[in-house]
Amino acid sequence: MKGYILEGIGTALWKDDLAMPKAGPGEVVIKPVIVSPCTSDVHILETMAFPFMKGRALGHEAAGVVHEVGPEVKDFKTGDRVAVPSAITNWKIPEAQEGYDKYDSLSPYLNPDPRLQGCFAEYYLVKDADLNVARIPDTVTWEQAVMITDMATTAFEGVRWLNLKYGDTVVVYGIGPVGLMAVCGAALRGAGRIFGVGSRQVCFDVAREYGATDLVNYRDGDVAAQILEKNNGPVDAVIVCGGSDISAIASAMKMVRPGGTVTNVAAFMHDKEFVLPNDIWGYGCTDKTLRTVSARGGRAFMERLLALVEFGRFHPEKMATHIYRGMEHIPESLEKMGGKDRTAIKPVVFF
């Protein structure tokens, strides 16, 4: 079996003699049909941020078919079309009864089980399939499904924590693929005016289609200043989906009104500290909420987002600007994702 294996900092190689995975109790083996590279794949490749990944296939955004079903799996059978969330977690812990499944990870990034691989392989294993793997509705395409696995689960969860009300004015700070999904997520929670902050035309265009009403280019000056002016005052909510560094969060806190909320779904791995000028929140007295949010997992949530696609509520496939055919294009797609092609939002690779 073939896979694209992380060897060390900056090095990933094709191997074609990988052991074929075998589904144990509760597990399934997935044969990916489509995968998508993520900026965090690029980051991991560059930094080896997750030590467990050494020697494992990269990749965490995939949709495919069930190739083998282990004992005790109840809801899936060979050949089923499924999508796998980026956050594969252990729901069989008491903490999960209150929503903290994600702190016991079953993903190859965070779990030492040597049988685990990422999805940039011909086959890979997913644990606790009945609780993590999502069935793809017949009318949902592969391109749509793969966009749900990380981009939408991250963005929609970040929007959920904004606790929007009908008509709220929302800023999506950073309209890469997660931010574009946040535009959709905000529109689908009743946002009125939606500002999208970015710099690339391709993202502006899709953001507009997704429901952004105002587009702000961070190259045109201080983002908070631009938005405070355009909006004639502070906004109700901001979701930070990217930025050159963690000062994006401080900027978000500046542009949100008293009583408002900022969520952050971006990973600022290169920053040692978050620094907030103390006057921005009235020296600790002005009512503002800041929530950091990671991608939500779980079959139930995944299937909810797939239902939204099924019923036409949003159209994630518009982000698939570059479609490759053949697994051998994975390295190229990674370069496209990490690189400076200003026309790329999200490449996908059909195997």
| Interface positions, 187-226, toward a second copy (CB under 8 A) | 187-194, 211, 213
51 binds a second copy (CB under 8 A): no
Cα(134)–Cα(84) distance, integer angstroms? 6
Cβ proximity to a second copy: between 243 and 347 the closer is 243
Report which of 95, 78, 91, 97 is spatially closest to residue 31, judged by C-alpha positions: 78
Number of residues near a second copy (by CB under 8 A): 81
DSSP 89: B
- Given 46, 209, 220, 271, the residue binding a second copy (CB under 8 A): 271
142 binds a second copy (CB under 8 A): no
- Given 288, 318, 329, 336, the residue binding a second copy (CB under 8 A): 288
- Given 16, 17, 71, 94, the residue binding a second copy (CB under 8 A): 94
- Given 68, 104, 205, 310, the residue binding a second copy (CB under 8 A): 310
Cα(172)–Cα(160) distance, integer angstroms? 13
User: Counting every residue, how long is the chain?
Assistant: 351
The 214-217 sheet, strands edge to edge: 214-217, 194-198, 170-173, 235-240, 256-264
Q: In the window 231-270, what residues touch a second copy (CB under 8 A)? A: 240, 246, 249, 258-259, 264-269
The half-sphere exposure of 78 on its side-chain side, counting CA atoms within 13 A, is 6
Residue holding tokens 């105002």?
214
Cα(54)–Cα(299) distance, integer angstroms? 27
Cβ proximity to a second copy: between 266 and 327 the closer is 266
Cβ proximity to a second copy: between 294 and 321 the closer is 294
| Structure tokens, 73 | 């799996």
**Closest distance of CB 165 from a second copy, Å:** 7
42 binds a second copy (CB under 8 A): no
Q: Please, what sign has the CA dihedral across residues 240, 245, 250, 252?
A: negative
- Given 103, 220, 230, 326, the residue binding a second copy (CB under 8 A): 103
